[in-house]
Structure 1
Amino acid sequence: MTAYIVFERDTTEDQQALDRYAAHADGTFEGHPVTALVDYGPHEVLEGPPIEGVVVLQFPDRESAKKWYFSDAYQKVAQDRFRGATYRAVLVDGVAAQA
């Protein structure tokens, strides 16, 4: 079943660290079946506190999503994301297609 990783950026702490992350994050997708569906496009918070941005990545299944997220390549790059901002990352399954 299709799975998604949703990143929600709450607050920026270090813009230079986020810039380094942004410069290298896409390179971690190589060899992984990932499609970026949302990449910090315009958003409107309908409930809850304000956020700065959202990214939604699509994978064929949970295993593929976790393989990318926990890969050495991504975890190395993610250190700048951790230093740069407060994020929430959620892995969620899609809905099975109905016949």
Structure 2
Amino acid sequence: MPAYIVFTREKTLDQSELKTYGEKTPATLEGHEIKILAAYGRHVTLEGPEVEGVVIAEFPSLEEAQAWYNSPAYQEAAQHRFRGAVYHGLIVEGV
């Protein structure tokens, strides 16, 4: 069953850290079956506080999404995201 990682960027803290994150992230995708479905496109907030941006990525399974997120390569890149902005992230299984 497919699974989706959803990140919402709540507030930018350091643009240079986000730039570094953006430069490092593509290499983390190697060896993982991932399809980016949305990345910082126009969005409409229906409920809750406004967000700066949304990313949605599809994986073949919840386990494969977790494997990518927990991989050493992504976790190293993610440190720049953590310093660069406040995000919320989750994995949800499809139907």
> Same-fold call, TM > 0.5?
yes
Superposition pairs of residues 3-82 of structure 1, within 5 angstroms: 3-82=3-82
- Residue 94 of structure 1 and its aligned partner are, at CA, apart by 0.3
Identity of aligned residues (%): 52
- Residue 39 of structure 1 and its aligned partner are, at CA, apart by 0.7
Structure 2 unaligned segments of length 5 or more: list them. none
Structure 1 unaligned segments of length 5 or more: list them. none
Highest CA radius of gyration, 1 or 2? 1
Superposition pairs of residues 83-98 of structure 1, within 5 angstroms: 83-95=83-95
3-state DSSP class of the match of 1:67? helix
Distance in 1 (alpha carbons) for counterparts of 2:90 and 2:63? 14
Count of aligned pairs between the two proteins: 95
List structure 1 runs of 4+ shifted beyond 3 angstroms: none
TM-score normalized with structure 2 length? 0.98
AA at the equivalent of 1:68: W
TM-score normalized with structure 1 length? 0.94
3-state DSSP class of the match of 1:64? helix
Distance in 2 (alpha carbons) for counterparts of 1:43 and 1:24? 25
